[in-house]
Every structure is written in structure tokens, then in C-alpha cells.
Structure 1
């Protein structure tokens, strides 16, 4: 073979070899320094699918325990919904019936919300700012119903989705993916041991109180509570303003006349209630967009999103300007 031709062939092979990136090897049970706590990684967390493809991304923001904003190496931004898992909600109400054994009560829902906060914190500590592998599954679509990417995030060789389930931060989401059996086994073990959110089940101990937990919905005097916050509307927040909302509940035994009461965010945007009376135990939802007010839903009339997806504080004041409820997320 001509020496010049041989040189070209060898150079081409070298370039092709450099384009193939293998996932880092993992040893089950090794301590993972990524969560800042020196916790032992659950055995099996190195579980990854065969096929499906992968790409390198940087996690720029954690929306909640199972949803992240990422940037690709070419600068493109996208949203990832972690495949096969579901962490409890922190911006809206939970449905305890989705979590086996958790009582369908206010206490059960509140217990799940606290663990949703913990899942979000765990995800932020482990993922935010990190460059990781986004691994796709051969048995799943690459995008879900809302257009978000579906996949696993692999950090230091560990499948983060699996860790969420094995360590009690999430349940297995009822969907088709190649690692389903392993995830189901991990959930069964966590549930049997009462690990994490499964301590919310009947007979469980529930979460230990933390400074960030607000079991009373931020109520100052027991009259009114902020029971739900949905800061991150589906799709573009500014194009779906009525899916951005906060829900208030009368926790007292008497009706509350909300006329002149206000709801304010950290930036000082203020909504003032009109002629609204909330009976004992009743709720009213304040949507950021426009619509016709009813007894259960009122509308702010904003032209852009109010609540910061990355964190904000809902402050409710009565007609005298006294704070009656305040809840941060």
C-alpha cells in the first residue's frame, strides 16, 4: 500500500476511535461523593440499558426531583423528564392513591410533599451544574406527551433514576422501559423497609421535621394556608398562565371575608382580592392569567408569569396588611 494512503487510513481510524465514548464503569455499593453526604449508593445503581443511545449534557437547573433543564455540548437547551420515576409534587397537590399504602388524607398528602422537597434537594445536590450522560431507553419514546426528553441521567456511572427509587425518593412510574423489572424490585425493597417517602404509608413514622417543611401551609395564625403552588406551568409558562397558580385554604372554623386581602411574590407583584368569601375548609385558586372569577377560581390578569420556577415566596396579607400565611418553595 502507498505510504501516503496508509497514513490517511490510520489517521481516519484514529479520529473514529476518538468519537466513541463509553459510559464510565461503576462499582455497586461504592460511596458516591456527588450527594455531599457520603451516602452509600444503592446496589444496582449502575444499571443502564443496552442500546438506545446516549449524549453528554450539563444540568443547568433542577425543576423538581424528576425534571431538569439541560444544555447540550452545542449550546442547545432542553428539558429532561426522568424516565420511569415519579417523585412527589412540591408545586402542586399530591395524590396519595398513586403511592401504595399512603393514606388518602391531608396528612398523607402533606407527608408526600415534604419528601418531594427532599427529592428536589437531593437532585440539586447531585446534579445541578454537573456534566452527565443522558441515556435513552430502546423501549421508550425519546420524548413524552409534553415534548420533554425521556431518559436516564448517569452520574459517575450511577443511574440517578434508579437511585431515586432505591433510596425512597420516588415511585416507579407506570410506563414501558427496558429496566422496569429492576426498578420494580428496588421500589418493593424500599417500600418494605419504609425507606424515604414510604414512611408516609400506614404505620410509618413519616418524615422528621425540617426547617424547610411547612406542614401548616405557612399559616401564621391558623386561619388560612397556602396548600398548593404550581410555579412551573406545562410548556412555556408565559403561554399557559392559567396553569401557574397558588391555592389557598380556609383552615379555620368560620368563614373568611377575603375582600382587600393580598397575595404577593418576592418581586412585589401584588394581587388584591375582590368580593370573595371562603367558607370553613373551602379553597380558592389564584391563576396568573385571565378568566372569569368564580367561587373557587380567581384570575390575576397578568400578561407574563409571576412565580419564579427556581424558587419564590407566596405571602398572603389580610385587609389590615398583617401577614396571615407565607410559604416559600
Structure 2
């Protein structure tokens, strides 16, 4: 028995959708950039408070702790922060990298810079493993907000 052409087309379309759906869905990276606060509140005066108002938040999306030693966060122009060995990002937890100075702790670290990193209009944040492999990126191009959720 020959299939009815309309039903054959529907069956073929469904098979194509089933085939494309898994490939079309990008896997969530193990460490994901979830927020870039690129324009700290107030005037850009290079005060430590203003510098620390500029930050990047990353999240461990896996069920295992990830040792961030040697991993790096950078911007499009090449400013780069490398995590020290022993920094473990627990499963499902976030970690914040602030531009200015402060005391590193369990929820974040400080870049210890005296100048801003993230452009107020457009830039891209990258997170790379210790071997240099790109894990995630978050571009933004906005003058309407001070931050972007990635």
C-alpha cells in the first residue's frame, strides 16, 4: 500500500524536526556567564566603590564542583583575569568577579584593577578553561541599561 502523499509529508516533516531538535538545542556550558554589570552606578570616577560596581557573575551549571584554577574571564580587548588555584565553584552556585580591590571570599574575587574593564556601550565577556578553551561568552550592545543578563 502506498502512503497518502499528505501523510507522508507530515511524517517526513516530523522526522526532520525530531532529528533537528537535539542538535538545535545548545548544551548549557559547565560554567556560564549569567550577568555582566558593565556600567557601575553613578559617575565613572575610578573610585574603588565605582570599580567594584562593575562585575561579572558566573555560575556552575553542573552537579560537581569545578576547580577554577587557571580559568580566566576576559573582555574583547584582552583584559584578562586568571583564577588562582584552589578556587572551587560549587554545583549550582555563582561566583562574582569585581573589577576593583577587596578581600576575596567564598562568593567572589577582586581583579584589583585601578581602571575600568567593561565598556559602557558594548563589549563581550568570555570565560575560558585553563587550557584556553572557550566555555561561554556574553556580548552586549546597549546604552539603555547598566547590565545585561546572559
| Alignment equivalent of 2:98, drawn from 287, 291, 307 | 287
Question: Residues 238-263 of structure 1, C-alpha deviation per residue, up to 9 Å, x if partnerless?
Answer: 22100100000001111110000001
Could you tell me which runs of 5 or more consecutive residues in structure 2 were left unpaired when the two chains were aligned.
Answer: 1-25, 141-150
- Aligned twin of 1:242: 52
Tell me: higher relative CO, structure 1 or 2? Use CA pairs within 8 A at least 6 residues apart.
2
Q: Assess if the C-alpha contact under 8 Å between 1:259 and 1:276 holds in 2.
A: yes
Distance 1:267 1:222 in 2: 23
Matching of residue 297 in structure 1 with residue 104 in structure 2: no
Residue 297 of structure 1: how far off its partner (Å): 1.5
Distance 2:43 2:73 in 1: 23
Distance 2:131 2:27 in 1: 15
- Aligned twin of 2:129: 318
- Aligned twin of 1:139: none
Distance 2:29 2:43 in 1: 35
Matching of residue 229 in structure 1 with residue 36 in structure 2: yes
Question: Residues 118-155 of structure 1, C-alpha deviation per residue, up to 9 Å, x if partnerless?
Answer: xxxxxxxxxxxxxxxxxxxxxxxxxxxxxxxxxxxxxx
- Aligned twin of 1:157: none
Could you tell me which runs of 5 or more consecutive residues in structure 1 were left unpaired when the two chains were aligned.
Answer: 1-218
Distance 2:129 2:83 in 1: 10
Q: Assess if the C-alpha contact under 8 Å between 1:263 and 1:272 holds in 2.
A: yes
- Mark the structure with the bigger radius of gyration: 1
Distance 2:27 2:101 in 1: 29
- Name the one with the larger helix percent: 1
SS in 1 for 2:122: coil
Q: Assess if the C-alpha contact under 8 Å between 2:28 and 2:61 holds in 1.
A: no
- Name the one with the larger strand percent: 2
CA RMSD, 1 decimal: 1.7
Q: Assess if the C-alpha contact under 8 Å between 2:99 and 2:110 holds in 1.
A: yes
- Aligned twin of 2:66: 256
Aligned length: 112
SS in 1 for 2:113: coil
Residue 221 of structure 1: how far off its partner (Å): 5.2
Assess, with a 3 A threshold, how the Cα gap between structure 1 residues 220 and 298 changes in structure 2: closer, same or farther.
farther
Scaled by the length of structure 1, the TM-score of the pair is: 0.33
Distance 2:135 2:29 in 1: 8
Distance 2:116 2:27 in 1: 27
Scaled by the length of structure 2, the TM-score of the pair is: 0.71
